[in-house]
Amino acid sequence: MLSNYVSPGYRVDISPIEKKRNDVNEMDRKVYKSQVTEIISDDRLEIAMPMEKGRLVLLPIDKEFEIHFYTERGLFQCFARILDRFKRNNMYILSLELTSNLRKHQRREYYRFSCSLELDTRILVKEEIDSLKEEKIDFISGLPLKKGVIADISGGGLRFLASEQYEVGSLVMCKWHLVVEGHLKEYNLIGRVLFSQELDVRNGEYEHRVQYINVDKIEQEEIIRFIFEEERKSRKRETGR
């Protein structure tokens, strides 16, 4: 059942189904961001009409789209047809009908939550890297840490800004705190650097993207739960409810 996996407030990507021909127009290449507003039945739901540059995107009625749902249980995908466009309580809505079964997306993907969290980082030393071969990590205490700021975070990794540049492929210890179930918890995770580049707007500051390599299931679920709780708080502030 749709309601077993998808709930109002979940983030949605909506994109036209790829065509097997060369006359794909600009709309066919886009992915639009939205969120679920209502689950109507097992094969019907409503989502917010997507916006681009402050304007509503009038996706065509009766056209089929590919939908991705970012949920607490992972990424789910289906195909759906737009039944109607309308306005309710000052919100513009798309009514969708599923045209395929909802299925778990095979590609590992997590919703990225934009934030600003203090972060300490440092490169792993040889002894720590060697300990990883035993499928464990023994962090060496007392080594100097570099300050940074997490710009977005997900269940699979994070993006952060720092004055220190790390080489792509290197292993970095990332230390930060999250409020989990009302308590401040420290996370010490290893990230493999996937991207590192100096910012155009700020010389001497670098953007890094890392993928966790030692996160356990409990920590991962805590991070995802934190993201969803912060999203809910943000929606309440926006709607005043």
For 40-81, write each residue's pLDDT tens digit: 999 999 999 999 888 999 999 999 998 989 887 778 888 999
| pLDDT of amino acid 108 | 54
Q: What is the pLDDT of residue 26?
A: 37
CB-count burial class (<10 Å; 0-12, 13-18, 19+) for 192: middle
* CA-closest candidate to residue 60, choices 76, 84, 39, 42: 84
**Residue 174 pLDDT level (bands cut at 50, 70, 90):** very high
Question: Is residue 17 very low, low, confident or very high in pLDDT (cuts 50, 70, 90)?
Answer: confident
Give the count of domains, the chain. 2
Question: Are residue 94 and residue 124 in the same domain, yes or no?
Answer: no
**Same domain flag for 191 and 121:** yes
Q: Reply yes or no on whether the pLDDT at 144 is more than 80.
A: yes
Let me know whether 90 and 133 are in one domain: no
Same domain membership, residue 220 and residue 118 = yes
Q: Do 62 and 169 sit in the same domain of this protein?
A: no
- Structural domain includes residue 241: no
Residues 6+ apart with CB under 8 A from 142: none
In the chain, the amino acid numbered 180 is V
Per-residue model confidence (pLDDT) at position 22:
41
Using the predicted structure, report yes or no on whether residue 114 has a pLDDT greater than 70: yes
Determine which of 93-97, 150-154, 235-239 has the lowest per-residue pLDDT on average. 235-239
Range of 64's domain? Answer: 2-104
Give the C-alpha separation, 153 to 7, whole Å.
21
Q: Are residues 87 and 130 located together in one domain of the fold? A: no
Does 166 reside within a domain?
yes
Same domain, 88 and 130: no
pLDDT score of 102 = 87
